[in-house]
């Protein structure tokens, strides 16, 4: 479906010429991006010609996919107004704000929770499909800088209004708690702990993971809109921040980058209200991993270093180790070997200083020396140092557990890549086969992408029977859109 503008869309034509994309090329790119989002699109060069010469405006997710396709070619975000599609159905700004006021922060978070549920019930993709391709690393700039300047609000005590009317307040809603207590917060923390376990074992796309947004809407939102003392409020904001970060992580794992970005921003704002600087650092580390994964390694370094700087003298040794490890991942992806090696050495040093009795946060329970080795292996994979990859991968795979199934699958793929780059095709295929078996047991777009990357690396050996067998085993995994 499309509607007509007045005259040709000269802006779109000019940007296409600048990017060097033909009409057929843009149609193909848009269709491919749509397929990645689970959309079946059949645009062709004639469709693009209508957009340019007749000013037709495609509906739904198409304007955002067009911007994303051109942005990929130009290597930068492309806003809708630059391509003459600013009057298309606008992508909601919900979840992108980082308000200074605590009351407005509550509004921003609860608006996001409600939007997500509406999206999930509207045909499987809802609002997130309309936002396809709208991730922009620049959206993290204001949240990160505001958090660095003021990592804690002075007070979060709240008396819930009984009705709308007071300027700057959020109206009470039917069924919300009159007074929030520590028992309410404990239930949210229990939900977060359960969600972490399910996510590690089954992946972010498992049906149980979808209960996290539901918990945020049904349980957390009414509590945020209730009444609480400063002490209880801090704890409430901290627990809700953990759940919101988890929702972002699960969205990230399933390829919903635009949803993940909004959850992360709100999680950081809630961590500030909680006056929990280590938790804020953890959210920034999650942002860093996403930025690095999306190809913005320099911004990934900045976000990780922001987490580090604010937590000096506050976070535990193990927490600081994890932040340094995330920084190493970004340096490695940027191709800066010395910086990556320095960050890895520092991360290992912090980890060695950690002790059993340290007051480590519960959300860091996944981080051990095995996890350090797994991420170090990925750093050296990005730096094309297969010998180091093999050394760290052997340690990372030494104690596989049923608790971290997804991590085990990712490590197997990294091991396969190292074996391949070392010239050991048999070992690479063996590790790849085990990785495919693990990937088939979980719902994780990220794991599927790792497998797809391995198969791409194996293409020069496609005539080998063992490679053909691996491809055949992976076929059911790859036909499902990531």
Task: Identify the weakest region by mean pLDDT among 120-129, 322-331, 392-401, 456-465.
Answer: 120-129
Beta-bridge partners for 57: 3
pLDDT of residue 131: 53
* Residue pLDDT, tens place only, 282-337: 999 999 999 999 999 999 999 999 999 999 999 999 999 999 999 999 999 999 99
Listed residue (445, 464, 465) closest to 453, CA to CA: 445
Sequence-distant (≥ 6) Cβ neighbours of residue 264 within 8 angstroms:
140, 245, 248, 283, 286, 287, 290
Identify the helix (H) or strand (E) that includes residue 323. Answer: helix 317-333
Task: Identify the weakest region by mean pLDDT among 108-122, 271-285, 465-479.
Answer: 108-122
Q: Do residues 112 and 131 touch, judged by C-beta distance below 8 A? A: no
Compute the CA torsion angle 448, 449, 451, 453 (nearest 10 deg): 170
pLDDT of residue 74: 84
* Residue pLDDT, tens place only, 416-428: 999 999 999 999 9
Residue that is last in its domain, among 330, 351, 367: 367
340 found inside a domain: yes
The counts of H helices and E strands in the chain are: 22, 2
Q: What is the mean pLDDT of the chain?
A: 86
147 found inside a domain: no
Q: What whole-number distance in Å separates Cα of residue 118 and Cα of residue 209?
A: 16
Render the burial of 49-76: b for 16+ CB within 10 Å, e for the rest.
ebbbeebbbbebbbbbbbbbbbbbbeee
User: What total of structural domains would you count in the chain?
Assistant: 2
- Helix, strand or coil, per DSSP, at residue 120: helix
481 found inside a domain: no
289 found inside a domain: yes
pTM for this predicted structure: 0.78
Would you say residue 270 has pLDDT above 70?
A: yes
Going by pLDDT thresholds of 50, 70 and 90, the confidence category of residue 92 is low
- Residue 332's domain comprises 276-367
- Helix, strand or coil, per DSSP, at residue 230: helix
Neighbours of 1 (CB within 10 A): 8
Residue that is last in its domain, among 83, 115, 149: 83
pLDDT of residue 163: 44
237 found inside a domain: no
- Kindly tell me the burial class for residue 387, based on how many C-beta atoms sit within 10 Å of its own C-beta (0-12, 13-18, 19 or more): exposed
List the CATH number of the domain containing 25: 1.10.260
Render the burial of 312-347: b for 16+ CB within 10 Å, e for the rest.
eeebbebbbbbbbbbbbbbbbbbebbebbbebbebb
- Residue 4 has φ and ψ, to the nearest 5°, of -95, 140
Residue that is last in its domain, among 367, 401, 425: 367
Q: What is the residue whose two structure tokens read 């045909």?
A: 123
332 found inside a domain: yes
Would you say residue 52 has pLDDT above 80?
A: yes
Sequence-distant (≥ 6) Cβ neighbours of residue 213 within 8 angstroms:
113, 116, 117, 120, 247
Going by pLDDT thresholds of 50, 70 and 90, the confidence category of residue 174 is very low
379 found inside a domain: no
328 found inside a domain: yes
* Residue pLDDT, tens place only, 153-169: 999 999 986 544 444 44
């Amino acid at each position: 479906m499309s509607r007509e503008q007045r005259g040709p869309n000269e802006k779109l034509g000019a940007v296409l010429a600048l990017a060097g994309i033909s009409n057929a090329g843009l149609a193909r790119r848009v269709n491919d991006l749509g397929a990645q989002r689970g959309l079946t699109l059949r645009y062709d060069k004639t469709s693009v010609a209508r957009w340019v010469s007749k000013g037709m405006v495609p509906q739904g997710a198409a304007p955002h996919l067009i911007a994303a396709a051109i942005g990929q070619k130009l290597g930068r975000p492309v806003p809708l107004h630059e391509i003459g599609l600013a009057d298309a159905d606008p992508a909601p700004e919900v979840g992108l704000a980082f308000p200074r006021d605590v009351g407005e922060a509550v509004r921003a978070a609860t608006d996001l929770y409600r939007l997500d549920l509406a999206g999930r019930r509207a045909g499987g993709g809802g609002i997130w499909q309309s936002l396809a391709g709208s991730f922009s690393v620049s959206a993290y700039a204001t949240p990160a800088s505001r958090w660095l300047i003021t990592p804690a609000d002075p007070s979060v005590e709240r008396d819930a209004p009984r009705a709308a009317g007071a300027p700057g307040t959020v109206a009470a809603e039917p069924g919300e708690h009159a007074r929030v207590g520590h028992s309410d917060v404990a239930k949210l923390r229990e939900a977060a702990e359960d969600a972490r376990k399910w996510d590690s074992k089954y992946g972010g796309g498992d049906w149980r993971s979808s209960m996290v947004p539901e918990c945020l809407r049904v349980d957390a939102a009414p509590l945020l809109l209730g009444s609480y003392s400063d002490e209880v409020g801090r704890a409430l904001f901290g627990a809700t921040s953990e759940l919101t970060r988890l929702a972002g992580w699960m969205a990230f794992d399933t390829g919903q980058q635009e949803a993940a970005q909004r959850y992360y921003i709100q999680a950081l704002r809630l961590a500030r209200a909680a006056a929990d600087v280590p938790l804020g650092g953890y959210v920034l580390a999650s942002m860093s991993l996403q930025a690095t994964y999306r190809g913005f390694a320099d911004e990934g370094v900045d976000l990780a270093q922001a987490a580090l700087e604010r937590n000096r003298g506050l976070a535990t040794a193990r927490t600081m180790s994890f932040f340094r490890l995330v920084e190493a991942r970004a340096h490695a992806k940027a191709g800066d070997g010395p910086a990556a090696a320095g960050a890895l050495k520092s991360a290992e040093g912090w980890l060695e200083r950690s002790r059993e009795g340290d007051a480590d946060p519960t959300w860091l329970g996944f981080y051990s020396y095995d996890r350090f080795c797994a991420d170090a292996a990925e750093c050296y994979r990005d730096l094309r140092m297969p010998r180091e990859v093999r050394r760290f991968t052997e340690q990372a795979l030494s104690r596989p557990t049923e608790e971290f199934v997804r991590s085990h699958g990712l490590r197997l793929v990294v091991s396969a890549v190292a074996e391949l780059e070392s010239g050991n095709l048999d070992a690479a295929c063996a590790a790849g086969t085990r990785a495919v078996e693990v990937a088939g047991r979980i719902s994780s777009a990220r794991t599927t992408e790792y497998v797809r990357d391995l198969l791409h690396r194996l293409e020069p050996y496609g005539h080998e029977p063992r490679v053909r067998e691996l491809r055949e085993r992976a076929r059911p995994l790859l036909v499902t859109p990531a």
